[in-house]
Chains A and B, each alone.
Chain A
Amino acid sequence: MNDSLDPRVNRLRLDKNDGSFKVEEGENWNVFEVFHQEKRGAHHEHVGCVHAPDANLALIFAKEQFGRRKKCVNLWVVRSADILAFDLEDEDMFANNPDKTYRDASGFKVMEKINKFKAHTK
């Protein structure tokens, strides 16, 4: 029935498949988020996720998936279920951050005051 160009495929005797096979929910384990550190001293940055039965194997899969190209010195994994995040709809609570100039160095005009003082005392 199967007449593949690949002798290995023919040896699988695929015609014996009855076609009823189904993957069960949960069979592909849990999801872990992966964080990649490019060099010592740098932050770990989120790069994606892997499916794994536990954290140890998640690290191994993460190395294959996210550590096989470019520089990498370290990886973190954490279960997606353990990530706590704000609701995206609440992003307006950060909206006035840029207005808080009293939190920024640029919000304080020191030189203006010094120059005014110097001009005044001359």
Chain B
Amino acid sequence: MYGGGYIFDEPNRKQQREEQLHDDPVKLAAFEARIARGEKIEPGDWMPAEYRRQLIRLIEQHAHSEIIGALPEGTWITRAPGFKRKLALIAKVQDEVGHGQLLYNAAETLGKSREAMINDLLSGKSKYSNVFNYPAKTWADVTVIGFLIDAAAIVNQVANSKGSYGPYCRALERICYEESFHLKQGHDAFIELATGTPAQKEMLQDALNRWWQPIMHFFGPPDKTSSHSEKLMQWKVKMASNDDMRNQFLDAYVPKIWELGLTLPDPLLRKNPDTGKWEYSDPDWDLFFEVIKGNGPCNKERLDVRKWAEEHGRWIRKALMRPEEMERSALPVA
């Protein structure tokens, strides 16, 4: 699903920026020329310290988002309406967990171990997409997630798959292929409620109203407030600005919502016929940062469930451990 459009950075990273100043200028120029030519960077290549740090942050948070994102949907497997929906939801949740594995591998090629990433997730040090800190109260929430959150993530992931780091691009190609099924099954379930009984339609409208703000938050704060993304764009770590991705999403999906007779809880939402851009009310960005800090409705539950799973899975990881196999540990090579 779920490359959050917004990747959280800890404030006060001055130290790393100083490190960046110490990169060999000749190597840096060759590196930037290679990216400008459209070549991919591979794990064994020289790269600036800041490029490595930003990529680890990006890919790691993307991986966490896949794993945590499976939780609100996984909850609904036992209550999915009907056998076909249940099968599709199981398949989707399995895909998301698989995407987490692919992404952890891509991040590991940069030198951070999977164990360190999991610990940083559990301690709250590294983040995941904010959107999963909201509850999925009804089946309609699951259809809104499956259709619109996945759609938003696809906009982000398709952009990122054209980035400069080889292992991340390859993981995303595979992920985007599987996402096409997620989007279609989400759209199908969404339409079924939208065209169903008055009660179904009302349930969907209610879910849409509650999810609209988190969806508008999804791609992150407006361009005018976000800092230091120029270098990341030049290095092809960030492939599109927050506002551009948000606009692309609105352009593709708002008409698909309106055509079903549903409404969106923003009276200012419209496409400006002169500029071709979408206009909307600013979502509450203070709330967004509060939720990132850990104060959203489900932050604690999500992390507690992950901790429980790690803690209660340890015995089987240990039981399967073959110490004689562990002599040479390694990172993925590609």
B314 and A14 within 8 A (CB) = no
> In this assembly, does B135 line the interface, its C-beta being within 8 Å of a C-beta of chain A?
yes
A53-B321, A53-B322 known; A21 vs B311 contact (CB < 8 Å)? yes
Interface residues as binary, B250-287 with A (CB distance below 8 Å gives 1, 0 otherwise)? 00000000000000000000000000000000000000
Q: Which residues of B are found within 8 Å of A79, using beta-carbon distances?
A: 328, 330
Interface string of A35-58 (1 = CB under 8 A from B): 000000000001111110110010
Task: Place the interface of chain A in its size category.
Answer: 35 or more
Is A80 within 8 A of B330, CB to CB? Answer: yes
Assess the A50–B331 pair: CB atoms within 8 A. no
Cβ of A57 and Cβ of B137 under 8 Å apart?
Answer: no
Kindly state whether residue B206 has any CB partner on chain A within 8 Å: no
Docked complex Cα distance between A6 and B332 (Å): 37
Q: Is the CB of B136 within 8 A of A24?
A: no
Q: Are B310 and A6 within 8 A (Cβ)? A: no
Residue-wise, chain B 293-317 has the 8 Å CB interface mask toward A (1 for contact) of: 0000000110011011011001001
Chain B CB within 8 A of A111 CB: no
* Chain B hits for A4, CB < 8 A: 301
B101, B178, B314, B333: residue with the most chain A Cβ atoms closer than 10 Å: B333
**Interface band, chain B:** 35 or more
Are B326 and A22 in touch, CB under 8 angstroms?
no
- Contact B326–A30 (Cβ < 8 Å): yes
Chain A CB within 8 A of B229 CB: no
Residues of chain A contacted by B314 (CB below 8 angstroms):
27
Interface flags, A53-87, vs B, CB<8A=1, else 0: 11001000000110011000000000111010101
A27 to B116, CA, bound (A): 11
Query: Contact between B178 and A69 (Cβ–Cβ < 8 Å)?
Result: yes
Chain B residues in 8 Å Cβ range of A50: 101, 105
Cross-chain contact A30 with B301 (CB below 8 angstroms): no
Task: Give the CA-CA distance A21 to B329 in the complex, in Å.
Answer: 23
**Residue in contact with A31 in the complex, picked from B46, B108, B171, B320, CB distance below 8 Å:** B108
Contacts of A33 in B (CB 8 A): 332-334
**Complex contacts, A53 vs chain B, CB 8 Å:** 317, 320-322, 325
Whether A9 contacts B331 by the Cβ 8 Å rule is no
Q: At the interface, yes or no: A96 with Cβ under 8 Å from chain B?
A: no
A2 interface contact, C-beta 8 A? yes
Instruction: Check B113 for interface membership: any CB of A closer than 8 A.
Output: yes
Partner of A46, one of B44, B118, B325, B334: B334
- Measured between alpha carbons, how far is A53 from B324 in the docked complex, in Å? 10
- B38-79: contact bitstring with A at CB < 8 Å (1 yes, 0 no)? 000010111000000000000000000000000000010000
Interface residues of B in 85-125 (CB under 8 A from A): 94, 98, 101-102, 105, 108, 113-116, 118-119, 122
Set of chain B residues within 8 Å of A80, measured between Cβ atoms: 330-333
Name the residue in B42, B46, B113, B322 with the highest tally of chain A Cβ atoms < 10 Å from its Cβ: B322
Q: Max chain B CB contacts within 10 Å: which of A6, A19, A57, A69?
A: A6
A115 in the interface (beta carbon within 8 A)? no
B231 at the interface (CB under 8 A from A): no
The answer to whether B75 touches A9, judged by C-beta atoms less than 8 angstroms apart, is yes
Contacts A22-B119, A23-B115 given; does A12 touch B305 at CB 8 Å = yes
List 5 tightest A-B contacts by C-beta distance, closest first.
Answer: A81-B330, A14-B304, A80-B330, A81-B328, A6-B75
9 A-B pairs whose Cβ atoms sit less than 8 Å apart in the complex: A9-B75, A17-B307, A28-B118, A28-B317, A30-B330, A31-B329, A53-B317, A57-B320, A81-B330
Residues of A within 8 A of B (CB): 2, 4-6, 8-9, 12, 14, 17, 19, 21-31, 33, 46-51, 53-54, 57, 64-65, 68-69, 79-81, 83, 85, 87-89
Q: A14-B301, A21-B310, A48-B102 are in contact. List 6 more A-B contacts (CB 8 A).
A: A19-B307, A22-B122, A25-B113, A49-B105, A85-B333, A88-B45
